[in-house]
């Protein structure tokens, strides 16, 4: 969340909440339902393979397929903690 990032950059600073600006998104679409037929889920990532090219590589992840509903930033299950953000910044 942006508040976690602000606290990681400047702990104890005052923050002015201004609300959402016109055109600003709350959530980002990271993987569409249409991508599911070419995508596999691994422990820590998704891989979207090319639609045409097949090189015989064994795909070890979980196949997402036609029933995949999409992956957006609001249904993410892995969030960085404030401490982890501090280490990254």
The pTM is what? 0.53
Greater model confidence, 79 or 48: 48
Q: Which residues contact 47 (CB under 8 A, 6 or more apart)?
A: 39, 40, 59, 61
pLDDT tens digit sequence for 5-16: 888 888 888 888
Largest distance between two CA atoms of the chain: 55
């Amino acid at each position: 969340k942006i508040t976690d990032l602000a606290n990681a950059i400047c702990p104890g600073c005052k923050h002015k909440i201004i609300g959402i600006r016109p055109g600003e998104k709350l959530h980002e679409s990271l993987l569409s339902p249409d991508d599911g037929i070419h995508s596999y889920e691994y422990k820590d990532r998704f891989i979207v393979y090319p639609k045409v090219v097949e090189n015989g590589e064994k795909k070890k992840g979980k196949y997402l397929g036609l029933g995949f509903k999409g992956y957006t930033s609001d249904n993410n299950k892995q969030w960085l903690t404030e401490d982890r953000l501090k280490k990254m910044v």
